[in-house]
Structure 1
Amino acid sequence: MVNIRPASAADADSIWLILEPVFRAGETYTLPRDIARDEALAYWFSAGNQVFVAEDAGEILGTYYLRANQRGGGSHVCNCGYMTAAHATGRGIARTMCMHSKEQAKRSGFRAMQFNFVVSTNERAVELWQSLGFAMVGRLPRAFEHPSKGFVDALVMFAEL
């Protein structure tokens, strides 16, 4: 049974083990592929981020952050980033984290959730977000340079909470 809880500084090594291969692959996040550990963790734990981990039997299998997408008049819409450990793919970890994040966002006073930059070639994520009520509300042509597929579209996805 997957348990989701707030992340702590003690989780940094486990979170880095999840973040590093995803950032190094360069296929889904708009961060430098050679990002340093401390910089990556500072990004994930940025001020204003609520960070969570998904664990099973004490092993961290996924992590996500939740934050306001914009400030001021847009601060009622949140944004999230999710990552699942490669060896835990296909176990419903991302689905569980997204469902948790939607409830956490409501508890935090957000009225909607927006994913600003979903790489179109990340088909599993696109299908998952759609199955959880997110609509594609925008397409950014050739906005992401994929390391093997060249320039591909990025999607803006949105769901009211």
Structure 2
Amino acid sequence: MTIRPATEADWPAIWPFWQEIVEAGETYAYPLGATSDQASGWWFDGSHVVVLTDADGAVLGSAKMGANRPGRGAHVGTASFMVDAAARGRGVGRRMGEYAVQWHRDQGFAGIQFNAVVETNTAAVALWQDLGFEIIGTVPRSFDSTTHGRVGLHVMYLDLS
């Protein structure tokens, strides 16, 4: 598996799993029914965007990362991750998570803050905790899960100092 910077030419490979994940209504608060153009604009928003590919060059997942806030908050990073359902359980999320942590370190960020990890997304919560992130708070009933109804969003943090 290889992680490389994504380009707009990768979007046709990202879009199907981006759409599937968002429309499932379990992990992201992007608006339902987004067009490919809208979604591409949200994903390629000036952040550092990468894809993870297999040996044949097929895109298995994508991540975007950068400053969590502008200006005086720009020393803390953030990231978002999406993995194609067909590639889950193969370490794609972990590889991209490890990449994101190292990328933030290399860029001089003081920490990484995930603003909204859905508490029922137990695989993601466990992965981030395994990579050293802590749950520093939970906003109750702030995500409307298709399956579970209103559930909490964890704020998770990794100190890079």
SS at match of 2:129: helix
Which residue in the other structure is 1:19 paired with?
Answer: 18
Which residue in the other structure is 2:82 paired with?
Answer: 83
Matches within 5 A, 1:81-160: 81-160=80-159
Q: Which moved more, 1:61-70 or 1:107-116?
A: 107-116
CA–CA separation in structure 1 for the residues paired with 2:85 and 2:32: 17
CA–CA separation in structure 2 for the residues paired with 1:37 and 1:138: 33
In the TM superposition, structure 1's runs of 4+ consecutive aligned residues that sit over 3 Å from their partners are none
Which residue in the other structure is 2:52 paired with?
Answer: 54
Which residue in the other structure is 1:30 paired with?
Answer: 29
Q: Deviations over 1:112-140 (max 9, x none)?
A: 10100000010000001000000000110
- RMSD across aligned C-alpha pairs, in angstroms? 0.8
Task: Please tell me whether the aligned partners of residues 120 and 155 of structure 1 are also in contact (alpha carbons under 8 angstroms).
Answer: yes
SS at match of 2:132: coil
CA–CA separation in structure 2 for the residues paired with 1:56 and 1:23: 23
The residue identity in structure 2 corresponding to 1:5 is R
CA–CA separation in structure 2 for the residues paired with 1:7 and 1:22: 19
Task: Please tell me whether the aligned partners of residues 25 and 33 of structure 1 are also in contact (alpha carbons under 8 angstroms).
Answer: no
Q: Which 5+ residue runs of structure 1 have no aligned equivalent? A: none
TM-score (normalised: structure 1): 0.96
Identity %: 41
CA–CA separation in structure 1 for the residues paired with 2:120 and 2:35: 25
The residue identity in structure 2 corresponding to 1:28 is T
Q: Deviations over 1:59-95 (max 9, x none)?
A: 1100000011011221110110001000000000000
Task: Please tell me whether the aligned partners of residues 23 and 35 of structure 1 are also in contact (alpha carbons under 8 angstroms).
Answer: no
The residue identity in structure 2 corresponding to 1:147 is T
User: Offset of 1:46 from its aligned partner?
Assistant: 0.4
Q: Which moved more, 1:50-59 or 1:105-114?
A: 105-114
User: Offset of 1:103 from its aligned partner?
Assistant: 0.8
CA–CA separation in structure 1 for the residues paired with 2:91 and 2:13: 19
CA–CA separation in structure 2 for the residues paired with 1:93 and 1:111: 25
TM-score (normalised: structure 2): 0.96
